[in-house]
Amino acid sequence: MVGASSGVVAGGIFSLVHAVATVTFHLDHVVSGAVLNILSFGIVRYLMVLFFGHPGTTEPIPHGLKEYQFAIPGLSKIPVLGPVIFNQTPIIYMSFLLIIAALFFLKRTKVGLHLRAAGEHPMALETIGVSVYKMRYLGVFISGLFSGLAGAYLSIENAVSFTEGMSNGRGFIALAAMIYGGWTAIGSFLAALFFGFADAFQIRMQIFKVLPIPAEIFIIFPYVATVIAVAGLVRKSRSPKADGIDFIIEREDG
C-alpha cells in the first residue's frame, strides 16, 4: 500500500514538471515529453544507486506475485473467465473502478466538463470565467497520478521487483491505446486490452514454442500490432481540437 501510494504521488509530482513546461512556459508538448523521458531515466538510475548501491534491479519480493493475488470467492471458480477476471491483484480491480469513476467524472461533473472543454474549446471555457491554465494543470496532474499507479503495478504486482527500464515502451503503447480508442475512457480500455492480449500472446508463443522462429520476432509483435492499429485508425480517431495547442497562441490568432 505504501509503495503503490508513493508511486502515485511521485507520478503526480513529476507530471507537474511537464505542466509547468507546457502550460506556463508554453514549451512544445512533444519536446517536453521527450526531455522528461530522458530525465526520468537519469533520476531512476541515481535513486537506485543512492538507495540500493547499484543501478539495475532491486531484490524480488520473497513470496512473489501470489502474495498479492485476491480471489473473489465463488466467482473465481468459474471456468476460463473466473481465474482471468476474478483472481487478480488489487490494482487490477482498482483499474476497473477507475474506468467507471473517469466516465462519471468527465461526463457528469462540472469540473470534468470544464476539463474536457479545456482541450476541446478553451476560449469558450475562458469566456465563462474558468481558468484554462488551472484545468490543464489538473488534467496533466491526473494523468500523472494514473501513470504512477501503472508504474507501481509493474514493480509491485506484475514483476514483484523493480528493474531499470522495465516499462519497455509501455507508456507509448498506452498513448497508442488512447488514440486507437478514440480518446474515450471505454475505447482506451478496450484498446489496452487488445495490446495486452498481443503482449500475452507473444509470451505464450515463446513458452510453448509453437513456431520455430527466434524469440526476438515474438518480442516485437506487440509493437508491430500497435503500429498497425494506430496507422489504420489514426485518421478516424478525432483528438480534442485544442490538444497540444498553446492557449495564448490560439487566443492571439483568434
Confidence of residue 233 (pLDDT cuts 50, 70, 90): low
More confident residue, 69 or 3: 3
Cell numbers given for 122:
478553451
Helical pair 2-19 and 132-152, crossing angle rounded to 10 deg:
140
Specify the pTM: 0.83
Phi, psi of 2 (to 5 degrees): -65, -40
- pLDDT single digits (tens) 178-213: 888 888 889 899 988 888 888 888 877 777 776 777
- Contact status, residue 9 vs residue 149, Cβ threshold 8 Å: no
Cell numbers given for 168:
519497455
* Mean pLDDT, all residues of the chain: 83
* Beta bridge partners of residue 70, listed in sequence order: 88
DSSP conformation letters of 116-142: HHHHH-HHHHHHTT--HHHHHHHHHHH
How far apart, in Å, do the first and last CA atoms of the chain sit? 48
Helix locations, the chain, DSSP H: 2-19, 29-52, 81-86, 90-108, 110-120, 122-127, 132-152, 170-180, 185-208, 215-219, 221-233, 247-253
Return the SS3 of 234: coil
- Give the residue from 144, 133, 141, 130 showing the smallest Cα distance to 246: 133
- pLDDT single digits (tens) 37-70: 999 888 888 888 888 777 767 656 555 555 566 6
- pLDDT single digits (tens) 134-143: 999 999 999 9
Question: Which pLDDT does position 107 carry in this prediction?
Answer: 93
Confidence of residue 113 (pLDDT cuts 50, 70, 90): very high
Q: What is the DSSP letter of 77?
A: G
